[in-house]
Structure 1
Amino acid sequence: MQSNRRELMAGAAVAALLGPAAVARAPSASLLPPGAKPLPLTAVRLRPSDFARAVEVNRGYLHRLNPDRLLHNFRKYAGLGPKAPIYGGWESDTIAGHSLGHYMTALVLTWQQTGDPEMRRRADYIVDELAQAQAKRGTGYVGALGRKRKDGTIVDGEEIFPEIMKGEIRSGGFDLNGAWSPLYTVHKLFAGLLDVHGAWGNPKALVVLTGLGGYFERVFAALTPAQVQEVLGCEYGGLNESYAELYARTRDPHWLKMANTLYDNRVLDALTRREDRLANFHANTQVPKLIGLARIHELTGDPAKAVAASYFWEAVTKHHSYVIGGNADREYFAEPDSIADHITEQTCEHCNTYNMLKLTRHLWSWQPDGALFDYYERAHLNHVMAAQDPSTGGFTYMTPLMTGAERGYSTTDDDAFWCCVGSGMESHAKHGESIFWEGSNGAFIVNLYIPADATWAARKAAVTLDTRYPFEGRATLTFAKLHGGRFPVALRVPGWAAGKAIVTVNGQPVTPVVERGYAIVERRWKAGDQVAMALPLDLRTEPTPGDPATVAVLRGPMVLAADLGSNDAKWEGADPALVGADLLAGFTPTDAGKGLYATRGIVRPADLAFVPFYRQYQRRSAVYFKTFSDSAWVREEAAFTAEQARLKDIAARSVDVMHLGEMQPERDHNLTSDSSYPVTYRGRQGRDVRSGGFMEFSLKVRPGPLILEASYWGSERARDFDILVDNVKVATQHLDNDKPGKFFDVDYPLPEGVTKGKQQVRVRFVPHDRNTAGPVFGVRLYTAMAGTKA
Structure 2
Amino acid sequence: MKLPKLLLTGVMMCSSTIAADAQSELYPKHFDLEQVTLLDGPMKKAMDLNIEVLLKYDVNRLLTPYVRQAGLAATTDSTSPYFQWLTKHPNFNNWGDASFDLSGHVGGHYLSALALAYAACHDTAKKAQLKERLDYMIGVMKDCQEQFDEHHDGLYGFIGGQPINSDWEALYRGDIQPYKRHGGWVPFYCQHKILAGLRDAYLYGNSETAKEMFRKMADWSVNVIANVSEADMEKVLDTEHGGMNESMMDAYQLFGDKKYLNAAKKYTHKKMLNGMQTLNTAFLDGKHANTQVPKYIGMERIGEANNQSYTTAAENFWKDVATNRTVCIGGNSVNEHFLSEKNSNRYIDQLDGPESCNTNNMLKLSEMMSDHTGDAKYADFYEQAMWNHILSTQDPTTGGYVYFTTLRPQGYRIYSQVNQGMWCCVGTGMENHSKYGHFIYTHDGNKTLYVNLFTPSKLVDKDFVITQETDFPNQSTTTLTVGKSGHYTIAFRHPAWVGKGFSYTVNNKKINHTEAQGKAYYIHITRNWVAGDKISINLPMELRYEECPNLSDYIAFKYGPILLAANTTNGKEKLQNEYGGEGRMDHAPGSMAKSLNLTSAPLLIGDRSKVLERIKKERKKKLSFSIDVSRKGIASYKWNRLTLEPFYAIHHDRYQCYWYQQTPEHYANSSMAKAEALNEALQARTIDFVAPGEQQSEAGHEYSYSMDSSTGEFRTEHYRDARPNGYIQYTLFNKERIAQNLSIMLRFNIADMGRKATLTINGKPIADITIPATAKDCDSNGFFNTEYKIPAEILKDAQQLKVRLTASTTLCPGIYYIRLLKGIRET
Contact 1:709–1:781 (CA under 8 A) maintained in structure 2:
no
Q: Could you say which residue in structure 2 is the equivalent of 1:575?
A: 601
Following superposition, the deviation at residue 426 of structure 1 comes to 0.8
**Amino acid paired to 2:229:** T
Q: Could you say which residue in structure 2 is the equivalent of 1:596?
A: 624
Q: Could you say which residue in structure 2 is the equivalent of 1:434?
A: 439
Following superposition, the deviation at residue 145 of structure 1 comes to 2.3
Quote the Cα distance in structure 1 between the aligned partners of 2:689 and 2:766: 24
SS at match of 1:532: strand
> What is the percent sequence identity of the aligned residues?
25
Contact 1:558–1:612 (CA under 8 A) maintained in structure 2:
yes
Quote the Cα distance in structure 2 between the aligned partners of 1:104 and 1:749: 49
Q: Could you say which residue in structure 2 is the equivalent of 1:225?
A: 230
Q: Could you say which residue in structure 2 is the equivalent of 1:693?
A: 729
Q: Could you say which residue in structure 2 is the equivalent of 1:781?
A: 824
SS at match of 1:781: coil
**Amino acid paired to 2:489:** P
CA gap of 1:398–1:584, structure 2 versus 1, over 3 A, is same
Following superposition, the deviation at residue 57 of structure 1 comes to 0.8
SS at match of 1:99: helix
Following superposition, the deviation at residue 712 of structure 1 comes to 5.5
- 2:564 corresponds to 1:560: yes
Quote the Cα distance in structure 2 between the aligned partners of 1:337 and 1:456: 51
2:686 to 656, 659, 662: 659
CA gap of 1:191–1:709, structure 2 versus 1, over 3 A, is closer
Following superposition, the deviation at residue 744 of structure 1 comes to 8.0
CA gap of 1:72–1:533, structure 2 versus 1, over 3 A, is same
- 2:478 corresponds to 1:475: yes
> What is the correspondence of 1:701-716 to structure 2 with a 5 Å cutoff?
710=745
Quote the Cα distance in structure 2 between the aligned partners of 1:43 and 1:307: 33
- 2:768 corresponds to 1:729: yes
Contact 1:492–1:518 (CA under 8 A) maintained in structure 2:
yes
Task: Name whichever structure is richer in strand by fraction.
Answer: 1
Deviations 1:71-125 (A, max 9, x none): 1121222222345513423166521111121112111111111141222232222
Q: Could you say which residue in structure 2 is the equivalent of 1:245?
A: 250
2:187 to 182, 191, 194: 182
> What is the correspondence of 1:21-170 to structure 2 with a 5 Å cutoff?
37-81=29-73, 82=82, 83=85, 84-90=88-94, 94-115=101-122, 116-138=127-149, 139=151, 140-147=156-163, 157-170=164-177
CA gap of 1:770–1:191, structure 2 versus 1, over 3 A, is farther
Following superposition, the deviation at residue 439 of structure 1 comes to 2.6
**Amino acid paired to 1:659:** T
Quote the Cα distance in structure 2 between the aligned partners of 1:550 and 1:190: 42
Q: Could you say which residue in structure 2 is the equivalent of 1:549?
A: 553
Contact 1:89–1:414 (CA under 8 A) maintained in structure 2:
no
Q: Which runs of 5+ in 1 are unaligned?
A: 1-34, 148-156, 652-656, 664-672, 678-686, 703-707, 785-790
> What is the correspondence of 1:188-267 to structure 2 with a 5 Å cutoff?
188-199=193-204, 201-267=206-272
Quote the Cα distance in structure 2 between the aligned partners of 1:714 and 1:483: 71
SS at match of 1:489: strand
Following superposition, the deviation at residue 658 of structure 1 comes to 5.2
Contact 2:145–2:158 (CA under 8 A) maintained in structure 1:
yes
CA gap of 1:176–1:217, structure 2 versus 1, over 3 A, is farther
Quote the Cα distance in structure 2 between the aligned partners of 1:701 and 1:293: 53
Out of 345-354 and 177-186, give the one that drifted further: 177-186
In the superposition, the TM-score normalised over structure 1's length comes to: 0.79
Q: Could you say which residue in structure 1 is the equivalent of 2:3?
A: none
Quote the Cα distance in structure 1 between the aligned partners of 2:397 and 2:751: 38
Following superposition, the deviation at residue 198 of structure 1 comes to 2.5
Contact 2:757–2:812 (CA under 8 A) maintained in structure 1:
no
Q: Could you say which residue in structure 2 is the equivalent of 1:611?
A: 645
Quote the Cα distance in structure 2 between the aligned partners of 1:473 and 1:419: 35
Quote the Cα distance in structure 2 between the aligned partners of 1:701 and 1:524: 82
Out of 284-293 and 125-134, give the one that drifted further: 125-134
Contact 1:58–1:428 (CA under 8 A) maintained in structure 2:
yes
Following superposition, the deviation at residue 482 of structure 1 comes to 1.7
**Amino acid paired to 1:227:** D
Deviations 1:583-605 (A, max 9, x none): 11111223574422222255665
SS at match of 1:609: strand
CA gap of 1:718–1:406, structure 2 versus 1, over 3 A, is farther
SS at match of 1:366: helix
Quote the Cα distance in structure 1 between the aligned partners of 2:178 and 2:210: 31
SS at match of 1:272: coil
> What is the correspondence of 1:191-590 to structure 2 with a 5 Å cutoff?
191-199=196-204, 201-276=206-281, 277-298=283-304, 300-335=305-340, 339-343=344-348, 344-411=350-417, 413-440=418-445, 442-459=447-464, 461=465, 463-479=466-482, 481-485=483-487, 487-498=488-499, 500-512=501-513, 517-565=521-569, 566=571, 568-569=574-575, 572-573=596-597, 574-581=600-607, 582-590=610-618
Following superposition, the deviation at residue 159 of structure 1 comes to 1.3
Following superposition, the deviation at residue 258 of structure 1 comes to 1.0
Contact 1:561–1:621 (CA under 8 A) maintained in structure 2:
yes
CA gap of 1:767–1:357, structure 2 versus 1, over 3 A, is farther
Deviations 1:387-421 (A, max 9, x none): 1112111101111111222211102x221111111
CA gap of 1:254–1:615, structure 2 versus 1, over 3 A, is same
SS at match of 1:495: coil
CA gap of 1:519–1:77, structure 2 versus 1, over 3 A, is same
Following superposition, the deviation at residue 770 of structure 1 comes to 6.6
Following superposition, the deviation at residue 576 of structure 1 comes to 2.6
Following superposition, the deviation at residue 55 of structure 1 comes to 0.5
Greater length-normalized contact order (CA 8 Å, ≥ 6 residues apart): 1
Following superposition, the deviation at residue 167 of structure 1 comes to 4.3
Following superposition, the deviation at residue 739 of structure 1 comes to 5.5
Deviations 1:587-624 (A, max 9, x none): 12235744222222556652332222122221111111
Quote the Cα distance in structure 1 between the aligned partners of 2:720 and 2:264: 38
**Amino acid paired to 1:595:** L
Following superposition, the deviation at residue 230 of structure 1 comes to 1.6
SS at match of 1:496: coil
Following superposition, the deviation at residue 133 of structure 1 comes to 1.6
Quote the Cα distance in structure 1 between the aligned partners of 2:749 and 2:407: 19
Contact 1:99–1:419 (CA under 8 A) maintained in structure 2:
yes
CA gap of 1:734–1:54, structure 2 versus 1, over 3 A, is farther
SS at match of 1:453: strand
Quote the Cα distance in structure 2 between the aligned partners of 1:275 and 1:715: 30
**Amino acid paired to 2:647:** F
Contact 2:744–2:818 (CA under 8 A) maintained in structure 1:
no
In the superposition, the TM-score normalised over structure 2's length comes to: 0.76
SS at match of 1:399: coil
Following superposition, the deviation at residue 662 of structure 1 comes to 8.4
Contact 2:30–2:443 (CA under 8 A) maintained in structure 1:
yes
**Amino acid paired to 2:532:** G
Contact 1:723–1:733 (CA under 8 A) maintained in structure 2:
no
User: What is the root-mean-square deviation of aligned Cα atoms in Å?
Assistant: 4.0
Quote the Cα distance in structure 2 between the aligned partners of 1:375 and 1:647: 35
SS at match of 2:460: strand
